[in-house]
Amino acid sequence: MVRAIASRRRATLLLLPLALALASPVASHAAPVLSKGQGPLSPALSALARPSVGSLPPDRQARIAGVATSGPGSLVREGGRLLVDLRFDRGALAALPELRETGARVVATSRHLQRVTAAVPQAGLLGVADLPGVAAVTPVRSPILRAFEPCEGGSVVSEGVTQLHAQEAREEFAVEGGGVTVGVLSDSLNQANEAVSGGPVATRQPQDVLSKDLPGKRNTCPGQSTAVEDLRDYEFEPGDDEPFDEGRAMLQIVHDMAPAAELAFNSAFNGELAFAEGIEDLAKPVSEGGAGAQVVVDDVGYFEEPFFQDGPVAAAVNKVTEEGATYLSAAGNDNLFDGEGNEIASWEAPAFRDSGACPPEVVAQPKLNGSHCLDFHPGAATDRTFGIEVEAGETLTVDLQWAEPWEGVETDLDAVLLDSDGEVLTGSTSDNVSSKEDEGTQEPVEIVQWENLGSADRTVQLVINKFSGTADPRLKFIFLQNGGGVSGTEYPKSGGGDVVGPAVYGHAGAAGAIAAGAVRFEPLPGEDEGPESYSSRGPVTHYFGPVEGTEAALPLPTPEELSKPEVAATDCGATTFFARQPKAEPGVWRFCGTSAAAPHAAGVAALMLEHEPLASPEAVRESLAATGEPFGGFSPCAQGGGLIEAIGALEAIEGAVFPPPGTCGPPDASGPVFVAPGDWGSESPPDPPVKPATPPVSGPTPQPPPEEARPPSTLIAKRPPATIRTSGSGARLVFRFRSDQADARFLCNVDQGGFKPCPATLSRWFKLGRHQLKVKARGATGLVDPTPAVFRFRLVAAG
């Protein structure tokens, strides 16, 4: 029977006490109180609008708001402003003058979506929410970057040129990418210091142009004097977290593959609306103010991009491909394996299974109507929590979405995260539904982030509660980990109708996009050839038409199943400055992840379009996929048609016939339900099965082992922030370590240099760059903590 759930009441204030801001591996005695936000402001922005919160350091503010302190999912700041998306029920463009009067800077607008992206002073959030027509104000979260001969590529040439046979194809077909423009979207082009000489942006000298690794006036190679056209770089201000110029590294890869192609750039880091505009601007003819790119490639994913329909970015992708541009995107680095080899990156149920109750800690939340929590077990049992094993020092990101269209959301789901004892850690409780009493986001998405600050893996429990609505929609969550951090889940296999594993989403799943998976340029010792373990798996299924305006899209007559990824390409090849330097290869920079695979594929596409300028985007897609070299033991869901082979791709685009590649279909979910062994938390069903009584054991009660008979645990009790700014070449940092054993000593491993004895208070000089500190305690009997405490940080130049 369909039951109506209590209607929403307007919340007056988000109550997130300091206990949440300081959430640690030890459960707080004062559990967080979760609420629904303040009017149009999301819960996170409601917290940040409080003056007492605005005066705190940024990392404290982030924890209070329940977002990551840095990296993917963190707040995008611009000096004293926050980047936000505003949804209007009317008059979006008419409200721009009043919006600017609040001190906001307008970044992007959309009349047909009635949405605005703006950088808003933190102290002015309440005023912005009160503007006429504002229905919802949500933070823009930092998106995910999918980065895990002298005149033919410069001083450093990616190994992808050899692995994908690009050099041989260029020689055989006499192509270099000439007459083709490739547009790249990523974080930034010329904002970081690694690839240029430093100083103010306007005066920086691009060293990779001098070394012929990018085209430009100082590149002396014939035909490579046209500099990268920068349509719009990242809106970065001194004092903000610096981007890494990943876009520049992508451009270096394209230049290696197709050295005569002209290059253009547009930042995708200014919000989804600006991302969509940037796609169209790159593909727009030069006569209309665009870059005229025939090939466009990106490596960015926004958390809020829809799973079950094409969002604004995907709509822009489909538009430019319909107009003739070939579009490629990084498939993502979100695939995960548990210890048994199961792919566990996502979990999806065909409908919301209402258990009719919630764990007591959720019931105790006064404003969440905690009485209709999801039953994760599709069988006869009842399970209201989903156990997740989070690795030490990692941030868990759960992106929950359900199958209702944007602007037609009728169900409000909330996500709450409990520790293994059932205590509330954090939650995501946005107003998703608009009603007569309240405005809402009209986006079916909740995003939960929590950082495991401890030195050991921890089990947490996800709870999904239906706050309001009468429907029981399909729902799915993906762990957006970008390479790792989740080592196990309670339900690691498809079964009982539930699907586990596929993690390609958003515009990479658009019909117009060619999604690229990643294959290392050479296998690591002891590993076989094949797609990278983190390369996201498909497929993608859409149930609604695209987001096109302020009206909800209609359901599709039949779901659209898209085989993703289409191809695989090289990652971990060399660049001049990005992104990491392996210890075994001093001075060599390697760029890993599907972020690197996508520009390799784009470079091959440029060669194809020089050879056949009138080839359609569909022809390029089919040629790349049909001529790929698949790896045995891997399905098309991991590699598409296989590793790109440039010679075959050019043969196919000129008309040679190849057999079609295999397609990726959804995992078989018809099997029985499988629950991973182990203890996944304290929450139990209301009517657990009766177990036979265990006969009492005679003799004394077993006692826990003495302290000296077990290894100690380790805690980094004092540490600097994750990003340290300094005016010099480095800084002296101080760390303090603790253990639960009084006589413990400590071993430290700095930047993979091996564990060595260190004092309980470590004072050490660190130079500019990224660093990692691992610490483990050693007890008096010689037993050593098997799970070191880990802290990753970076030093950047101030100003």
User: And the tokens for 328?
Assistant: 């490629």
Buried-state track 406-442, b at ≥16 Cβ within 10 A, e below 16: bbebbbbbbbbbbbbebebbbbbbbbbbbeeebbbbb
Q: Which residues make beta-bridge pairs with 764? A: 733
pLDDT recorded at residue 290: 97
pLDDT recorded at residue 700: 47
Beta strand 300-301 with 229-232: parallel, antiparallel or unpaired?
A: unpaired
The Cα–Cα gap between 103 and 787 comes to 48
The Cα–Cα gap between 729 and 187 comes to 25
**The length of the chain, given as a count of residues:** 799
pLDDT exceeds 90 at position 71: no
Residue 438's pLDDT band (cuts 50, 70, 90): low
pLDDT recorded at residue 427: 96
Distances (CA, A) of 376 to 386, 473, 690: 7, 14, 21
Q: How many CB atoms lie within 10 A of CB 66?
A: 26
Helix-strand-coil split of the chain, %, nearest 5:
20, 30, 55
**Nearest CA-CA partner of 762 in 740, 727, 737:** 737
Give residue for tokens 């400055």: 577
Residue 421's pLDDT band (cuts 50, 70, 90): very high
The Cα–Cα gap between 798 and 778 comes to 38
pLDDT recorded at residue 130: 93
Distances (CA, A) of 323 to 42, 284, 289, 623, 767: 37, 9, 16, 19, 49
pLDDT recorded at residue 30: 57
pLDDT exceeds 90 at position 561: yes
Predicted TM-score (pTM) of the model is 0.79
Helix (H) or strand (E) holding 362: helix 360-363
Q: Are 595 and 186 in contact (CB under 8 A)?
A: yes
Helix (H) or strand (E) holding 232: strand 229-232
The Cα–Cα gap between 668 and 662 comes to 17
Domains, in order of start, for the chain = 152-334+507-653 (3.40.50.200), 707-797 (2.60.40.10)
Weakest-pLDDT range from 13-27, 52-66, 409-423, 647-661: 13-27
Q: What is the DSSP string of 398-432?
A: EEEEES--TT----EEEEEEEETTS-EEEEE----
- Express as a percent the part of the chain with pLDDT over 90: 67
Mean pLDDT over all residues of the chain? 88
Amino acid identity, position 361: E
Helix (H) or strand (E) holding 97: helix 96-101
pLDDT recorded at residue 14: 27
**Nearest CA-CA partner of 568 in 341, 330, 254:** 330
Q: Are 541 and 304 in contact (CB under 8 A)?
A: no
- Express as a percent the part of the chain with pLDDT over 70: 88
Helix (H) or strand (E) holding 168: helix 166-173
pLDDT exceeds 80 at position 205: no
Residue 8's pLDDT band (cuts 50, 70, 90): very low
pLDDT recorded at residue 580: 87
Instruction: Please return the burial class of 76, using the count of CB atoms within 10 Å of its CB with bins 0-12, 13-18 and 19+.
Output: buried
Give the three-class secondary structure for 64: helix
How many C-alpha atoms does 441 have within 13 Å on its Cβ side? 28
Q: What is the mean pLDDT of residues 92-116?
A: 95
pLDDT recorded at residue 20: 28
Weakest-pLDDT range from 220-234, 255-269, 495-509: 220-234
Give residue for tokens 């009660």: 701
Q: Are 751 and 771 in contact (CB under 8 A)?
A: yes
pLDDT exceeds 70 at position 400: yes
The Cα–Cα gap between 176 and 610 comes to 8
Q: What is the DSSP string of 732-798?
A: EEEEEEEESSTT-EEEEEETTS--EEE-SEEEEEEESEEEEEEEEEE-TTS-B-SS-EEEEEEEEE-
For 634-651, the pLDDT digits (tens) are 999 999 999 999 999 999
Q: Are 563 and 539 in contact (CB under 8 A)?
A: yes
**Torsion sign, CA atoms 176, 182, 185, 191:** positive
Weakest-pLDDT range from 161-175, 633-647, 777-791: 777-791
**Nearest CA-CA partner of 447 in 486, 416, 421, 473:** 416
pLDDT exceeds 50 at position 688: no
User: And the tokens for 474?
Assistant: 């399909």
pLDDT recorded at residue 137: 96
The Cα–Cα gap between 115 and 111 comes to 7
The Cα–Cα gap between 671 and 195 comes to 52
Give the three-class secondary structure for 248: helix
| Virtual torsion, Cα 450, 453, 458, 463, nearest 10 deg | -20
pLDDT recorded at residue 714: 87
What angle (nearest 5°) sits at the alpha carbon of residue 605, between those of residues 480 and 529?
A: 55
Residue 240's pLDDT band (cuts 50, 70, 90): low
Comparing 753 with 558, the larger pLDDT belongs to: 558
pLDDT recorded at residue 514: 98
Comparing 23 with 722, the larger pLDDT belongs to: 722
Beta strand 789-797 with 769-778: parallel, antiparallel or unpaired?
A: antiparallel
Whether cis (ω within 30° of 0) applies to the bond prior to 539 is: yes
